[in-house]
Structure 1
Amino acid sequence: MMVYAPAVLLFLAFCWRMVRERRRFGNAVLLGLAALCALAAWMYRLLSSGSTSGLVIASSLLALGAVGILVLVCLLFLNGLRMVRKEGRSPSNLLSLMGALCVVGVVALVVTAAVLRTPVMIGVGVAALGLACYLSFLFLSFVVYAFLYGRLRIRRKADYVVVLGSGLLGGTTVPPLLASRLLRAQEVHAQLARRGAAPVLIASGGQGPDEELPESHAMADYLTERGFPADLIEREDRSTTTEENLRFSKAIMEKSDPGYRCVIVTNNYHAFRAALLARRIGVRGQVVGSTTAAYFWPNATIREFAAVLVAYKRTNIAMCLLFVLGGVLAWVAR
């Protein structure tokens, strides 16, 4: 059973870090490493047992992985087409299609390298496979931990509920995406009010170049039209990005109560990245997510993952360079 020791130690480290601070991308990496080590240990035991059943199970797992890649490509491709039909052909709506093409490209490179076995193709294949495995591991870790984070319980008490803006439809109207955040904020506010004093709700969002009024004003109007008390709404109307949403809302909360606690509300695909930003900025609160249309989720999740990669660009660039170096060494050795 010692073969499972690394997985157990990594999982214990993950649990310890979760108790201390759940808003860390390192938590996702630790959980992914624990799962990877556990899978590798299980595969080792199956293959080293020498039994026919062990070999069959191991072969079935490998075959399942290959089928999974094929299914993933098909789903990404279909989702990309649906995004284009429903949301238009902007670059941000093409991420699912681009993801499908990248997977196909890597598979084609690896197969070509295995068939031709020329030094250049082997080097390119090794580098491409290494980069693909690294990014796939990070993406799966991100998705699994984001799912887990979104289901953790929020604090029993909070002084503020902060709703992050997301743009207006036609310059004046709250779109369905933002409406889901506001409705979720109302639910959270009601839950917190039942546990103690009613918190203040901060509608956070400035005015974009194509908007006739600040997002926060439209958000406040949307809430009051549905019976939310106007005297419990604070408007933060200067922000234009998620980071500014959090920074300017933090300033409002600290001015009123330096020891504040808050709950931040956004969409479920955005919750974990917003939590990472909140921790970096020093906002004292966790993030909860509202539901998002199923067709919109894959593309939005890829976009959020790309933003997280950029946030940790130094580490990721260094790792990518290592895989490129591995490809160069494979080329030279060949």
Structure 2
Amino acid sequence: MWAYLPALVCFLAFAFAVLRERRRFGNAVLLGLSLTLGLGAWLFELHREHHALARGLVLVLIGLGVLGVVTLTWFMISNGLVMVRKEGVSPANLLSLLAGIALLGLVALVAGALLLDNRLLQTVAAGAVAVSAYVGFLFFCFVAYAFLYGRLHYRRKADYVVVLGSGLAGGSKVPPLLASRLDKAQAVHGRLSARGRRPMILASGGQGPDEQVPESHAMADYLLERGVPASLLLREDRSTTTAENLRFSKAIMEEATPGYRCVIVTNNYHVFRAALLARRARVRGQVVGSPTASYFLPSATIREFVALLVAYRRVHLTFCLGFVVGAGAIWWLG
């Protein structure tokens, strides 16, 4: 049973970290480590007691992993084509397609290395697999904890419900993605108001170069049309990014209500990164998510993950460089 000790330590550290501050990417890594180490410990114990069964199970897991990579490659490429057809060609909309092509290239590289029996090619493939495994582990951590974070309870007492903007359609209209956030904000406002406290709804979004009005104004008009009293609406109309949404909204809330508490509303794929940005901006509130069209989720989730990799790029580049150097050293010494 001692094999489970590392997993247990990681899980206890995860639980303590969540209780202390749930808006940390380190929480996601601790969760991923506890699950991975727990699975490894289970296989180790099984191997000790039932060697043949454990060996067969490992082969099954390897087979499922290969099948999963092939299936994921096909899914990403298919989803990427759907994104281009429905949303148009843009760097953000191409992410799932590019991810699928990258996976296809990795599969081809590994297959070529095995078939050609070339040591240099095998070393390159090993380095690529190591980097891909590292990124894949982080992506698993990100998705698993983002799913969990989105289901954690938020405070039932808040002074503000902050709605993050996402862009207008045709320069002035609220598109379905943003409408989903506003509908969720109205529902959250209703639940908070049912407890006897009526928070303000703060629409956050400035005016882009292709927009006719500030986004927050169109958001407020949408809520007014759906029965939200004007006296409960505030507008933050200077921001152009999520970080600015949070920073400028924080200034408004702090000036009006020192010691405020808030609930921040965005789409479900954006919840965890928005929470990390809120922590960095020292905003006193948690983030909740609204539904997103299923075809949009894969590409949007990859975009959020890439943004997190960029935010912590020095750490991740160091690890990836270590894998590449390690593979090169093995080739050189071999």
**Structure 2 length-normalised TM:** 0.97
Residue 85 of structure 1: SS of its match in structure 2?
helix
Match of 1:130 in 2: 130
CA distance in 2, matches of 1:61, 1:324: 26
Residue 295 of structure 2: SS of its match in structure 1?
coil
1:162 shift after superposition = 0.3
1:184 shift after superposition = 0.1
Q: Pairwise mapping of residues 1-334 of structure 1 onto structure 2 (< 5 A)? A: 1-334=1-334
CA distance in 2, matches of 1:52, 1:328: 35
What is the CA deviation profile of residues 112-134 of structure 1, one whole-angstrom value per residue up to 9, with x for unaligned ones? 22333434213311210110000
1:196 shift after superposition = 2.7
CA distance in 1, matches of 2:211, 2:205: 11
Residue 92 of structure 2: SS of its match in structure 1?
helix
Letter in 1 for 2:174: V
Letter in 2 for 1:15: A
What is the CA deviation profile of residues 144-193 of structure 1, one whole-angstrom value per residue up to 9, with x for unaligned ones? 10011011111010010000011110001000000000000000001111
CA distance in 2, matches of 1:127, 1:90: 30
Residue 93 of structure 1: SS of its match in structure 2?
coil
Letter in 1 for 2:275: A
Show structure 2 runs of 5+ residues with no match. none
Identify the range of structure 1 (221-230 vs 64-73) with the bigger mean alpha-carbon deviation.
64-73
CA distance in 2, matches of 1:219, 1:208: 14
What is the CA deviation profile of residues 240-267 of structure 1, one whole-angstrom value per residue up to 9, with x for unaligned ones? 0000000000000010122000000000
CA distance in 2, matches of 1:318, 1:7: 25
Residue 211 of structure 1: SS of its match in structure 2?
coil
Residue 288 of structure 1: SS of its match in structure 2?
strand
Contact 1:46–1:55 (CA under 8 A) maintained in structure 2: no
Contact 1:273–1:308 (CA under 8 A) maintained in structure 2: yes
Identify the range of structure 1 (277-286 vs 98-107) with the bigger mean alpha-carbon deviation.
98-107
CA distance in 2, matches of 1:24, 1:60: 34
CA distance in 2, matches of 1:130, 1:54: 24
CA distance in 2, matches of 1:116, 1:71: 25
Contact 1:126–1:330 (CA under 8 A) maintained in structure 2: no
Contact 1:47–1:58 (CA under 8 A) maintained in structure 2: no
CA distance in 2, matches of 1:310, 1:95: 15
CA RMSD of aligned residues (A): 1.2
CA distance in 2, matches of 1:128, 1:115: 17
1:101 shift after superposition = 1.1
CA distance in 2, matches of 1:117, 1:41: 33
Residue 206 of structure 1: SS of its match in structure 2?
coil
Letter in 2 for 1:313: R
Note closer, same or farther for the CA distance 1:51–1:331 as it changes in structure 2 (3 Å cut). closer
Identity of aligned residues (%): 60
1:141 shift after superposition = 0.6
1:84 shift after superposition = 1.2
Residue 296 of structure 1: SS of its match in structure 2?
helix
1:67 shift after superposition = 1.4
What is the CA deviation profile of residues 22-80 of structure 1, one whole-angstrom value per residue up to 9, with x for unaligned ones? 00000000000111101111222233334433332232222122211121112112111
CA distance in 1, matches of 2:93, 2:3: 44
Show structure 1 runs of 5+ residues with no match. none
1:91 shift after superposition = 1.8
Letter in 1 for 2:162: V
Contact 1:126–1:326 (CA under 8 A) maintained in structure 2: no
CA distance in 1, matches of 2:181, 2:221: 14
Contact 2:47–2:53 (CA under 8 A) maintained in structure 1: no
1:326 shift after superposition = 1.1
1:201 shift after superposition = 0.7
CA distance in 1, matches of 2:8, 2:267: 33
CA distance in 2, matches of 1:327, 1:53: 32
1:92 shift after superposition = 1.2
CA distance in 1, matches of 2:48, 2:121: 33
CA distance in 1, matches of 2:19, 2:117: 49
